[in-house]
Amino acid sequence: MGVKIDPLKCTACMACELACGYHRDDAFALLSSCIVVYRTRDKKDYFGVILKQEEDLVIARPEGLEVKRIGAVEEGGGGDASAKPMLLREACDLCSDREAGPLCRQICPVEAIYLD
């Protein structure tokens, strides 16, 4: 079972990123989140979500999902160049300490995140 993302439902609100940061820090911070909205191509309206799992990066682009093995991804690749590189962040733990499951799924206002 893992976190899945429907990029066409996503509205880039970053609630998932905020929730993941809270899960890790018990505070509001965006630097430690394992789920990140990529939003640098603002001018082209091209945005999606990147999720770091134990062994791979899930890249939810508008045109479809792509899964890359972490060893096959360049250091720092797959995310905004200016953000903390994805490979330096902790992997998704499915919020294993929460009975309700992943906080990102619970907080997403448009049901773009689900478990499968």
Partner 1 sequence: MEYLASDRIAIIDLASGEVNEEPYPDGLCQEKIGGAGVNLALYQQHQDGEPIVLGAGLFTGSMVPGSDLGVVTAKSPLTGTVCHAPLTQYAGMELKYSGFDYIVIKGAAASPKYLWVHDGIADLEDAADLWGQDVWAACEAVRANMGDELIQVLGAGPAAEQGSDLAALMINYWPSGDRFGLGRALAAKNLKLIALRGLGLLEIAEPEDFAAQCLELLGAVKGGAWAGKKGLADLAAGLGQQALADWLAPLVHRHRASFNTPFAANTFLFLEADPSQLSEPPAPEPGVLVGDLAALAGLQGLGLSAAEAGQVLGQCAHLGLDPAGVAAAAAAAGVKDAAGLMAGLATIKGPVPGLSGPLAPAAPAGALFGLAQSADPAWRARRQALAYLFGLDPLFMLMAPELSEEKLLELVGLGIGLEIGPEALDAAVAGIG
Q: How far is the CB of 83 from partner 1 (least distance, A)?
A: 7
Q: Which of 5, 15, 51, 86 lies at the binding interface for partner 1 (CB under 8 A)?
A: 15
Q: How far apart are CA 40 and CA 20, in angstroms?
A: 20
Tokens coding 35: 């789920």
Q: How far apart are CA 76 and CA 78, in angstroms?
A: 7
* CB-CB contact of 59 with 67 (8 Å): yes
Looking at residues 71 to 110 of the shown chain, list those that interact with partner 1 (rule: CB under 8 A): 80-84, 106-107, 109-110
> Which CB sits closer to partner 1, 12 or 53?
12
Task: Please report whether residue 31 would count as binding partner 1 according to CB under 8 A.
Answer: yes
Phi, psi of 110 (to 5 degrees): -120, 15
Q: How far is the CB of 46 from partner 1 (least distance, A)?
A: 5
CA atoms within 13 A on the CB side of 70: 16
Q: Which of 4, 30, 53, 77 lies at the binding interface for partner 1 (CB under 8 A)?
A: 30
Interface ranges with partner 1 (CB under 8 A)? 8, 11-15, 18-19, 22, 25-31, 39-47, 61-63, 80-84, 106-107, 109-110
